């Protein structure tokens, strides 16, 4: 799992197609740099990945896929299904709104190799949803998740950190609700501010202050821990290029190209510091083993975690390694005593 674990997609952006209006923070045209939708976008994306695409899913992102005009939606599904049938892609995934996954459209999706439906839930606090001009409430999201699962699709829940009116408690509740709604995986997006959005105006007028990167990391961590505890992979933290993010120079707020890594660094730091703090007699030496591929996350960027731990627990010599024995996100602590 977790992280920020890399999930390979062949993204095809349908900027705000199907959206009944713009949510307060959203300008997919700014995010993706696409002014409109080119129906050839799928073929262009497939040509770019060639045979390398066969392990990946064709991902219709950046709009409300199930709310776009039926004829265009079906044309895209037909073409994508043909690529899957040719063995050039593993399946189809799409993102959409919770109020756009009725039985009729889910029945259509079932005729195609759609494996995963991603729902932009963003928050399960109605006050936050209202402030974001989402146009649906939390009960709609709960019902949408139930329906998507009942139709047999894998469900990914997307949530945001730092929306207007939101609080750390509301974000933790959103993560717990997503787990209860049965999401198989999650994406966590700290809120960025794009030009030409109502949120941008709110910042200019002093009605909204974007989070800093440090604040975004601190507020993302508890929801991440909730998903980790519930064994739900967090497949992305923070908008990045694979979400179509271009022109990062136009973005205000907590943009960092490796935000997920920062959250994971903090996750492991707290695990280690918490374990060491709980020991009455501190050992001289501790070896810490983590799952394969996670060593740099445990030690931290530029060994920051190591330095912080050495400062907090002087006299404890720490060594780190990876082991198949460690499950994802698990740490194994080895001291002389154990």
Per-residue contact flags (x/-) with ligand SF4 for residues 88 to 117, judged by CB under 6 A: ---------x--------------------
Told to check if 22 binds ligand SF4 by CB under 6 A, we report yes
46 binds ligand SF4 (CB under 6 A): no
The torsion region of residue 36 among left (phi > 0), alpha (psi -120 to 50) and beta comes to beta
CA distance 175 to 228: 10
**DSSP symbol at 184:** S
Residue 114 burial (CB count, 10 A):
27
Out of 2, 11, 53, 63, point to the residue binding ligand SF4 (CB under 6 A): 63
By the rule CB under 6 A, 164 interacts with ligand SF4: no
CA atoms of 103 and 101, how far apart (whole Å): 7
We find the least distance from the C-beta atom of residue 16 to ligand SF4, in angstroms, to be: 5
Binding residue for ligand SF4, selected from 4, 12, 19, 138, defined by CB under 6 A: 19
CA distances from 166 to 23, 211, 301 (A): 15, 12, 29
Q: Does 16 bind ligand SF4 (CB under 6 A)?
A: yes
Q: Which of 4, 12, 23, 183 binds ligand SF4 (CB under 6 A)?
A: 23
For 298, phi then psi, to 5°, come to -70, -45
Does 197 bind ligand SF4 (CB under 6 A)? Our answer is: no
Nearest to 245 by CA among 194, 210, 303, 177: 194
Among 3, 30, 64, 197, binds ligand SF4 (CB under 6 A): 64
Asked whether position 32 contacts ligand SF4 by CB under 6 A, the answer is: no
Which stretch in 15-23, 84-92, 165-173, 305-313 sits in contact with ligand SF4 by CB under 6 A?
A: 15-23
| DSSP per-residue letters across 106-122 | HHHHTTTTEEEEEEEEE
26 counts as binding ligand SF4 under rule CB under 6 A = yes
Nearer to ligand SF4, 194 or 268 (CB): 194
User: From the list 53, 98, 113, 120, which residue makes contact with ligand SF4 (rule: CB under 6 A)?
Assistant: 120
* Phi, psi of 47, deg, nearest 5: -65, -35
The smaller minimum CB distance to ligand SF4, of residues 80 and 121, is found at: 121
Q: How far apart are CA 59 and CA 155, in angstroms?
A: 14
Quote the DSSP letter at residue 76.
Answer: H
If one counts every other C-beta atom within 10 angstroms of the C-beta of residue 184, the result is: 15
Count residues near ligand SF4 (CB under 6 A): 10
244 near ligand SF4 (CB under 6 A): no
Closest CA to 69 of 110, 117, 17, 29: 17
Residue 179 makes contact with ligand SF4 by CB under 6 A: no
Name the residues that contact ligand SF4, by CB under 6 A: 16, 19, 22-23, 26, 28, 63-64, 97, 120
């Amino acid at each position: 799992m977790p992280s920020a674990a890399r999930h390979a997609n062949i993204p095809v952006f349908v900027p705000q197609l199907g959206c009944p209006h713009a949510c307060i923070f959203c300008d997919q045209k700014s995010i993706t740099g696409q002014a409109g939708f080119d129906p050839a976008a799928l073929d262009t994306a497939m040509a770019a990945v060639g045979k390398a695409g066969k392990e990946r899913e064709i991902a219709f992102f950046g709009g409300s896929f199930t709310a776009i005009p039926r004829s265009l939606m079906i044309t895209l599904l037909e073409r994508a299904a043909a690529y899957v049938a040719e063995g050039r892609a593993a399946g189809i995934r799409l993102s959409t709104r919770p109020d756009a996954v009725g039985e009729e459209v889910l029945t259509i999706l079932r005729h195609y190799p759609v494996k995963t439906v991603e729902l932009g839930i963003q928050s399960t606090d109605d006050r936050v949803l209202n402030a974001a001009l989402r146009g649906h409430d939390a009960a709609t999201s709960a019902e949408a998740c139930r329906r998507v699962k009942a139709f047999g699709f894998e469900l990914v829940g997307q949530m945001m950190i730092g929306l207007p009116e939101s609080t750390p408690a509301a974000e933790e509740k959103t993560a717990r609700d997503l787990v209860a709604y049965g999401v198989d995986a999650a994406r966590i997006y700290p809120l960025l501010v794009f030009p030409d959005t109502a949120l941008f105006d709110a910042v200019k007028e002093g009605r909204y202050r974007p989070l800093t990167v440090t604040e975004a990391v601190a507020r993302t961590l508890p929801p991440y821990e909730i998903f980790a505890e519930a064994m739900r992979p967090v497949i992305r933290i923070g908008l990045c290029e694979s979400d179509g993010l271009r022109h990062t120079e136009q973005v205000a707020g907590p943009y960092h190209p490796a935000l997920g890594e920062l959250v994971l660094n903090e996750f492991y730091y707290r695990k280690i510091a918490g374990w060491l703090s709980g020991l009455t007699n501190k050992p001289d030496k501790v070896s810490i083993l983590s799952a394969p591929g996670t060593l740099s996350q445990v030690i931290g960027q530029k060994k920051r975690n190591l330095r912080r731990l050495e400062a907090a627990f002087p006299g404890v010599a720490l060594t780190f390694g990876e082991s198949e024995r460690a499950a994802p996100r698990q740490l194994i602590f080895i001291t002389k005593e154990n």
